């Protein structure tokens, strides 16, 4: 494991296109999530391109509000090989701000690798949150949930 990221891989007995289709459906992200923090999608539009923004409601007991909203920006969109997004939030200036972490699903034939990378997180945020903010097995949980969704 690198100092600024954590990854997990799993073989999924399905075509990469079928796995990619599940990952591009934000409505299914709460079911995939291995941390249990994603509550629901705030839209049902499929992910179709880099730069696209999709929103999720979240819950974390250590968040100041408990329940909160994330505005995720698709960074990598390479069907059916890879998809990533950078979680962000509504900034006070009316734009979006990003904390510096990303989620990347890399689909190599039938092996899916999920990477959580926080290499761009500024030191003050690292000190406040602590990274990764969950045990590494949550990535394996997410991949298990993804495999179930694809099979089902």
Average pLDDT by stretches of 10, the chain with 152 residues: 83 93 95 89 96 95 88 97 96 94 90 92 88 88 91 80
Map out the domains of the chain as residue ranges. 5-151
Contact indicator for 107, 82 with CB cutoff of 8 Å = yes
CATH number of 5-151: 3.30.530.20
Angle, CA of 142, 71 and 46, to the nearest 5°: 65
pLDDT in the model for residue 1: 40
Instruction: Decide the pairing of beta strands 102-108 and 82-90.
Output: antiparallel
HSE of 151, CA atoms in CB hemisphere, 13 A: 10
């Amino acid at each position: 494991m690198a100092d600024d990221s954590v990854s997990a891989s799993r073989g999924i007995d399905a075509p990469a296109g079928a796995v990619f289709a599940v990952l591009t459906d934000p409505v299914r992200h709460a079911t995939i999530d291995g941390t249990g923090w994603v509550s629901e999608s705030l839209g049902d539009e499929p992910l179709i391109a880099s730069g696209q923004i999709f929103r999720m409601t979240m819950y974390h007991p250590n968040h100041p509000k408990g329940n909160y909203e994330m505005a995720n920006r698709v960074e990598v969109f390479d069907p059916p090989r890879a998809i990533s997004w950078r979680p962000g939030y509504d900034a006070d200036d009316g734009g979006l701000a990003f904390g510096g972490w990303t989620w990347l699903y890399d689909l190599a034939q039938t092996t899916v690798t999920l990477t959580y990378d926080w290499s761009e997180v500024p030191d003050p945020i690292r000190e406040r949150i602590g990274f990764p903010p969950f045990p590494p097995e949550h990535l394996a949980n997410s991949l298990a949930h993804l495999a179930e969704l694809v099979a089902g």
